[in-house]
Amino acid sequence: MIAVLAAAGLGLLALPTLLRRLGRHLQPVRWSALCTIAMAGGASLVIGSGLLSSLSTVLRGVGLPKVAQACDAMLGHLVPSGSVLALTALAVTASALVLGVRAVQHSHRAAKRSWVEPTVGIRLQRHGSFETVLLDDARPGAVSVPGTTGRPSQVLLTTGLFDALSRPEVDLVCAHEEAHLRLAHHRYLALATAVEQAMWFWPPAKASAQALRLALERWADEAAAGSKPLARSRLRSALLMVAVDGERPALAAFSALDGLIERLAAMSEPEAATVSAIWWPVLLLPGLLLGAVAFFALARLGHGAYCLLSMPGSCRLR
């Protein structure tokens, strides 16, 4: 059952990149939600299966051999305690946990480092609860920085972007970045970075993280431009004008090149792509099947654990 759990988790992690083309037929908010669920659920299953496969080895290492024997009986001796496979699973799982936690911490530190002090830049007057700061930088760019305790969220614009665009286009770029802040996209980005780093041994996880980042950018595009043709055309022009090569995975940046063609195509349409009766089951079915498989495996493992714990004398730990 552990192998089944791991396979289901790896499958879920790969779904966002495998279904990326079809995901464009969904509204970005829903596609972002599906990507998030698949990545969070897949990573949890993979890490959980790694912990279970190495549990017997850990228990013996801390001096609980009888509990380790019970775990071996529950897990069906799939991963022999102390074997190379068990030690490898323990090392990979530990590295995934450490790298995932470090990635989240890096995202928080990146937001703190990017926050601009009141003495730096020019504060632009805009309606809303976010600060808009103009920075002296010839490179075109715009970044949203989530706030912390005592610090408001900020939209950072460069003079390169401000000078290259018309005022209505600048307003749309600001609305795009404000949408990132209002919709708490930094949390989704932290998850994408954490899963990408933790699942270093599974290449599709990185591609799925990129699919989630693109979905978030399209979500913010739609929130900024809405269904008005003129606003969509202006946002498209802004994308063409300021797109630069420079990925910032920890923060949402308007001008990243990754996914630019898809964003331009979406802005060329009169309104956001809507969900059809065909695409929903096509996109949901693989995830539902993998979820059902994982639930079945967890149920079997839970039943085995219950049977062992209910046996007389099973509470003796040494």
Nearest to 264 by CA among 245, 239, 246: 239
Look at strands 154-158 and 131-135 and give their pairing.
parallel
Q: Are 4 and 76 in contact (CB under 8 A)?
A: no
pLDDT at 317: 42
Q: How far is CA 232 from the centre of its chain?
A: 26
Nearest to 318 by CA among 117, 57, 65: 65
Segment 144-171, tens digit of pLDDT: 999 877 788 999 999 999 999 999 999 9
* pTM (predicted TM-score): 0.87
H or E element in which residue 123 lies: strand 122-124
Contacts of 282 (CB under 8 A, 6+ apart): 22
pLDDT at 314: 47
For 39-53, 98-112, 191-205, 231-245, which range has the lowest pLDDT when averaged over its residues? 231-245
Tokens of 205: 């996880």
pLDDT band at 318 (very low <50, low <70, confident <90, very high): very low
When mean pLDDT is compared over 12-16, 19-23, 104-108, the highest value belongs to: 12-16
pLDDT at 215: 94
Tokens of 210: 């990129």
Question: Is the Cα dihedral 126, 185, 18, 100 positive or negative?
Answer: positive
Burial of 230 (C-beta count, 10 Å sphere; 0-12/13-18/19+): exposed
CA distance 50 to 64: 19
pLDDT at 81: 57
CA distance 287 to 38: 7
Segment 69-128, tens digit of pLDDT: 666 666 655 555 556 777 788 889 999 999 999 999 998 998 888 899 988 989 988 777
